[in-house]
Structure 1
């Protein structure tokens, strides 16, 4: 723990908080004194603040200014302090939003592609802030493949865009941070995708030079004829290093977790045009801030800030910024500024707070003073000297509270209108720096908002003689549950599936995949407990799977929402997407627990010319189930799942197919059953089993794949069969199954877009209960850790409350018998050789449109794995599903008429995620 001294900046209240921090909780002594009760995530501002789906509240200090929708990725303050230019991401479109710094009013949007507003260049937002020229007459705006130069008029508005094209070795150059030369003739750009420092001639608006630096450069600062570049991916690898890839670049990586294990700052001699030194700093250095001759570096993946002495060209000190005693991972520092003399502010993205320190210069240790609460996930902190106010840009703002969304998932489903995960409402918060007494009160507020207070007392140690219960009071005590299954499905909201269940906070009008389509999941909820106040933290699969496997999505993932061009890490394959403490399977193995993985967070290697047909998959499933004889048309193990993470490879079952919508879940569950039957013979079932059953993702209505109702029914039957097999086995008396979605992006919910279904099956589950306690994916991870004696991975799962009220100490061992599907699993699948059809029920006058869409749909990669699905344009895909399901009688919400494929707004925008 950092040393705390009585010095200027400390108040009585702050000192009281500091004293409390010295009594650090043991990580395993959770107790059951925290949590958020039965409060709901509904965007309501109460005296407690706004409850988020991330086990946190927000109650920011100062004024709050909302957007009308969209995630704010970063921002820049104009030189006169009058305007704030922010990079904005909304529904896969990137654009510029300009705010009035004094009032917070949006004064301009540019590049949305809506109405008369044309896109800027490629239309994909970058991840880092725009840059104003010192005179305020120019603004440079980074995008995925280019930089746009804008002229700023007397009214402060941007106009006359000039697109400066860039290239990259692996695709997009991904321009990041920028800096101008003192004379303004050169614009220096960290080209994150090219591993170079780009030099742009501002007179010609041309890229004239690229200087090799470290891997994944992120920010650049100019001082004394040198450029300092933070390299998120660290130093270039040598032949002796173990490496893992990120965007095609081999990064020096950890031999167990596969995570990038170095971080550097490149020193570039601008006159010579080359790197002269590489300074070792913390992991994933991002934000840079120059204070005199000191360069402060935010190390986002290890919760520290390094101070570089630019005169001596060395790191003079590094200090930890995680404010929770006993935790070293999970705060995500990502922004730095000085707010007046001696007041150093560091934005802590995951803590929804700024940490304030006293700065006495480069030779003196910095001293922690307290915390200031912000909105959800601050990404930029700046000081407006004109207004003498601190300005914070909050990426996720007040949560998914944007305009309600209407979606549809195909024939035999119902249209739904409500809240969706993409309804991000980013915010700016602004305040005068707090006084001494106020800072102590604000620090306490941050601890309450993050539910950290319960961790401040020492608590009681684990009792090795305590009677086993399902969820032990203290980590390390025995549980009556020995085998845990974590089953991860895809993308549904609570109301989509459970809206018609007839109890709890359920809206039957939003039940798109109700009882007829999901009889097993309804039966599980009715028997083992209904959870109507449960939430997924993630927005989509790229962060959703990371929340479940790492109890977090690190700053790199949060910032990638501008483009996801480096990677889409829903299944790994990116060394920068991994936290330094590893994954749930790593933590389990450190605790001495056995683990097996079936398809989660791995990739599928499908031979491109040898993909089986649906009939082959179905036949293979019937043979494996014993319903048919003959040779397997799809032999098990032919399509192996692989991982770039060594520790996951060690526990993965490669014959189990991972995410691919061309493979039915019946085949997956049959492969698992082969392993399970062997475990029944040996009596050895792993303590932790991870499994993906992804078919409720669905794959459109082209006829190349079954319709959504059939794919969801396939998924439901697989879940039922898993619980059926386990509950009829010798292991049932000591087992628990957690079934949940990776995210809830593909639907809407009347409470919140992040509300999602959860099923728990166990003899110890509370039969017939409606559990309305606030819980999230983090609570599921924490409960698994508590049951199996696994130490938390970071401060988030450490603070999460175990789900004790979901269980009872009086077991009911009656088995569960799977219910047959009421929907043919090949419903909507066209027979081989069948001629294209416009479909039944197409009204007169719409036949040609229906045929155009059928032909368009037939050309799309609507099935398969994530990379294939990413080729499909979401604006077009959503419309064909809507037209088919509404009988071609109503235009898509927001359109004035039914459109042909080439008339759809945003049709030239590539998809970032359909998984």
Structure 2
């Protein structure tokens, strides 16, 4: 009988972040170090945008570029002149999320009002955004749970189509009368929509599934669902209307659909290496002016993948282009490639962040306020950018491709053998023997390495940022001294919502990354990022799913559940019944006592 190792998942519902190296720009290499170990060297030049730009759209003639910023702090709509490459107008919005579309005559710009559950209709006069009107879909959150996402308008401006991410529906609207003509229920939450060239069909990406829904606009009903990859988001139809490109975030792929028969003729892999690992987060698409080249935004690889698509079904990889941090959208204007980078071009420490020793809480925590703009709250700290890149020739693309690989800490060799030294008890290869029988995974949340352990002299940290030193956190310092310091441990998360996913799955899906800022800004929306919503799950599941598949025992002490109640199916029967979940009113000792009792009597 094969003996399986015992794996104990021991969680305090805290996430420890290690900012072990100095973030910022290295003048000798011109690279920008991120807190996750990746580096940036964006091609072209950049224009400063707002907080988390999720989407941009060019007007039909290319005269305007609209950008919607949907982060935790100030949300806004920006109007850019692509020729002069300057922001010509900006409107602060109370709520917004992803959707924007121009009317054919370029006199109107429609934008999602997020959980206010309306479409904002801006008149464009003298290159400025006028006062907005609203097209109401229902009562505002929390009474109404709708949230319009992708928007598209037909050529005659007689119908506006929007899909939603809260009530999973398509709304067909008369924009002039501001009237809902029909609501069509969808199988799961949706992201974007695209009209066929003849405007007889509407294609909808089912973000919460693995399909593109096809709506016949004569009957106004779903007539087909095209199977594609996991978490389809951005859609792109070529000028002829015979090819539909679908970005699949959880699969690192793009599905190419022949719209004449609605069949997938090709699946393009966008990864840097030939690996089945998730994590590139494909989420933006654009065709070159001659439609022979496809540009694909890989959010978590901080790059564009470039493919020759001149022969449908026989696409060829051409290389990669380095861009900013978490690219969310890509467009082409003439010979320029435009990219919105959701988190901008740099990371930074936040010494002026929320201070626990302050007598007054001025953090505006979860409020999305701009009143204390000097306060460096992590959720709204990083501002997006717009990369403007000249379309590269083959030689320049080779240079760009090389730079993308230089910026990337991951290599395909690490899937075969991990870094480390001989004799280390942690196996470097899959299947190697190890004397380790139990693994205790202790997580501490919401503070960086420097803020807690920066005072440890042997560590690679910054003591000037330390808030909770040895006198305040003797237990954490004892663990670091007795076991491992982890001063060079890098993570991608900013807050609890994405942090628990990174800690439990080494990945946070695009659903998590693009929706937590809304709730953290007190703008409504479904939350529960700890197992309560299957749409947020990564493709391979969480660490306990891997244990389950490998036949390794596991147990949770408050992570993704509380006491005996699990938030996720794979943890049912694997929760310590005496261990509480998230609770700021109890001491760590309560958790330790529950674990010690469980260790003696359960194992």
Fold match, TM over 0.5? yes
> Residues 222 and 412 (structure 1 numbering): CA distance in 2 closer, same or farther, change over 3 Å?
closer
Q: How does 1:387-786 map to 2 (within 5 A)?
A: 388-401=335-348, 405-410=352-357, 420-422=377-379, 423-452=381-410, 454-455=411-412, 468-501=423-456, 504=459, 510-526=465-481, 528=483, 530-532=485-487, 534-564=489-519, 565-602=524-561, 604=562, 640-643=564-567, 645-678=568-601, 684=603
> Residues 233 and 37 (structure 1 numbering): CA distance in 2 closer, same or farther, change over 3 Å?
closer
Q: CA deviation at 1:669?
A: 1.9
Alignment check: 8 A CA contact 2:340 2:385 kept: yes
> Residues 108 and 535 (structure 1 numbering): CA distance in 2 closer, same or farther, change over 3 Å?
farther
1:152 has 2:124 as partner? yes
> Residues 309 and 109 (structure 1 numbering): CA distance in 2 closer, same or farther, change over 3 Å?
same
C-alpha separation between the residues in 1 aligned to 2:600 and 2:469? 32
Partner of 2:104: 134
TM score, norm. by length of structure 1: 0.57
> Residues 588 and 403 (structure 1 numbering): CA distance in 2 closer, same or farther, change over 3 Å?
closer
Partner of 1:89: 70
> Residues 361 and 180 (structure 1 numbering): CA distance in 2 closer, same or farther, change over 3 Å?
farther
Q: CA deviation at 1:189?
A: 0.5
Q: Equivalent of 1:346, from 289, 296, 312? A: 296
Q: How does 1:214-229 map to 2 (within 5 A)?
A: 214-223=187-196, 224=198, 225-229=200-204
Q: What is the CA deviation profile of residues 382-423 of structure 1, one whole-angstrom value per residue up to 9, with x for unaligned ones?
A: 0113xx211011111224449873422256899999865231
C-alpha separation between the residues in 2 aligned to 1:649 and 1:459? 32
Partner secondary structure for residue 329 of structure 1:
coil
C-alpha separation between the residues in 1 aligned to 2:321 and 2:111? 29
> Residues 406 and 460 (structure 1 numbering): CA distance in 2 closer, same or farther, change over 3 Å?
closer
Alignment check: 8 A CA contact 2:59 2:106 kept: yes
Alignment check: 8 A CA contact 2:322 2:404 kept: yes
Q: CA deviation at 1:286?
A: 0.9
Alignment check: 8 A CA contact 1:322 1:328 kept: no
RMSD: 3.2
Q: How does 1:212-361 map to 2 (within 5 A)?
A: 212-223=185-196, 224=198, 225-234=200-209, 263-291=210-238, 292=240, 293-341=242-290, 342-361=292-311
Q: What is the CA deviation profile of residues 556-586 of structure 1, one whole-angstrom value per residue up to 9, with x for unaligned ones?
A: 2122145245532432211111111111122
Partner secondary structure for residue 339 of structure 2:
strand
> Residues 200 and 459 (structure 1 numbering): CA distance in 2 closer, same or farther, change over 3 Å?
closer
- Name the stretch that deviates more: 660-669 or 280-289: 660-669
> Residues 508 and 287 (structure 1 numbering): CA distance in 2 closer, same or farther, change over 3 Å?
closer
Structure 2: gaps of 5 or more residues: 1-17, 364-373
Alignment check: 8 A CA contact 1:657 1:668 kept: yes
Partner secondary structure for residue 376 of structure 1:
coil
C-alpha separation between the residues in 1 aligned to 2:128 and 2:53? 18
Partner of 2:88: 107
C-alpha separation between the residues in 2 aligned to 1:500 and 1:413? 26
User: Which structure has the larger Rg over C-alpha atoms?
Assistant: 1
Q: CA deviation at 1:469?
A: 2.3
Q: What is the CA deviation profile of residues 64-107 of structure 1, one whole-angstrom value per residue up to 9, with x for unaligned ones?
A: 2223x522122222334344322213444422233343454443
C-alpha separation between the residues in 2 aligned to 1:211 and 1:589? 39
Alignment check: 8 A CA contact 1:142 1:175 kept: yes
Alignment check: 8 A CA contact 1:87 1:95 kept: yes
Q: CA deviation at 1:290?
A: 0.5
Q: What is the CA deviation profile of residues 729-753 of structure 1, one whole-angstrom value per residue up to 9, with x for unaligned ones?
A: xxxxxxxxxxxxxxxxxxxxxxxxx
Q: CA deviation at 1:150?
A: 0.6
Q: CA deviation at 1:229?
A: 1.1
1:74 has 2:55 as partner? yes
Partner secondary structure for residue 586 of structure 1:
helix
> Residues 170 and 656 (structure 1 numbering): CA distance in 2 closer, same or farther, change over 3 Å?
farther
> Residues 172 and 563 (structure 1 numbering): CA distance in 2 closer, same or farther, change over 3 Å?
farther
Q: CA deviation at 1:647?
A: 1.7
Q: CA deviation at 1:497?
A: 2.6
C-alpha separation between the residues in 2 aligned to 1:78 and 1:214? 31
Partner secondary structure for residue 598 of structure 1:
coil
> Residues 522 and 402 (structure 1 numbering): CA distance in 2 closer, same or farther, change over 3 Å?
closer
Alignment check: 8 A CA contact 1:264 1:282 kept: yes
Q: What is the CA deviation profile of residues 438-461 of structure 1, one whole-angstrom value per residue up to 9, with x for unaligned ones?
A: 222222221221124x43599779
Partner of 2:145: 172
Q: What is the CA deviation profile of residues 749-805 of structure 1, one whole-angstrom value per residue up to 9, with x for unaligned ones?
A: xxxxxxxxxxxxxxxxxxxxxxxxxxxxxxxxxxxxxxxxxxxxxxxxxxxxxxxxx
- Say which structure, 1 or 2, has more relative contact order (CA 8 Å, 6+ apart): 2
C-alpha separation between the residues in 2 aligned to 1:646 and 1:274? 34
> Residues 283 and 93 (structure 1 numbering): CA distance in 2 closer, same or farther, change over 3 Å?
same
> Residues 457 and 472 (structure 1 numbering): CA distance in 2 closer, same or farther, change over 3 Å?
closer
C-alpha separation between the residues in 2 aligned to 1:89 and 1:457? 35
Partner secondary structure for residue 214 of structure 1:
coil
Alignment check: 8 A CA contact 2:293 2:310 kept: no
> Residues 537 and 418 (structure 1 numbering): CA distance in 2 closer, same or farther, change over 3 Å?
farther
Partner of 1:375: 324
Q: CA deviation at 1:538?
A: 0.8
Partner of 2:366: none
Q: CA deviation at 1:503?
A: 6.2
Task: Report the structure, 1 or 2, having the larger helix content.
Answer: 1
C-alpha separation between the residues in 2 aligned to 1:601 and 1:595? 13
- Name the stretch that deviates more: 180-189 or 658-667: 658-667
1:124 has 2:95 as partner? yes
Alignment check: 8 A CA contact 1:221 1:227 kept: yes
Alignment check: 8 A CA contact 1:402 1:424 kept: no
Partner secondary structure for residue 588 of structure 1:
helix
C-alpha separation between the residues in 1 aligned to 2:479 and 2:360? 22
C-alpha separation between the residues in 2 aligned to 1:523 and 1:153? 64
Alignment check: 8 A CA contact 1:147 1:165 kept: yes
> Residues 649 and 500 (structure 1 numbering): CA distance in 2 closer, same or farther, change over 3 Å?
same
C-alpha separation between the residues in 2 aligned to 1:665 and 1:396? 34
C-alpha separation between the residues in 2 aligned to 1:458 and 1:572? 27
> Residues 171 and 653 (structure 1 numbering): CA distance in 2 closer, same or farther, change over 3 Å?
farther
Alignment check: 8 A CA contact 1:232 1:284 kept: yes
Partner secondary structure for residue 267 of structure 1:
strand
Q: What is the CA deviation profile of residues 820-857 of structure 1, one whole-angstrom value per residue up to 9, with x for unaligned ones?
A: xxxxxxxxxxxxxxxxxxxxxxxxxxxxxxxxxxxxxx
C-alpha separation between the residues in 1 aligned to 2:106 and 2:572? 53
C-alpha separation between the residues in 2 aligned to 1:433 and 1:81? 17
Paired residues, what number? 562
Q: What is the CA deviation profile of residues 432-487 of structure 1, one whole-angstrom value per residue up to 9, with x for unaligned ones?
A: 211112222222221221124x435997799xxx9852334434333343322111
Partner of 2:176: 203
C-alpha separation between the residues in 2 aligned to 1:91 and 1:562? 4
Q: CA deviation at 1:547?
A: 0.5
Partner of 1:40: 22
C-alpha separation between the residues in 2 aligned to 1:553 and 1:136? 37
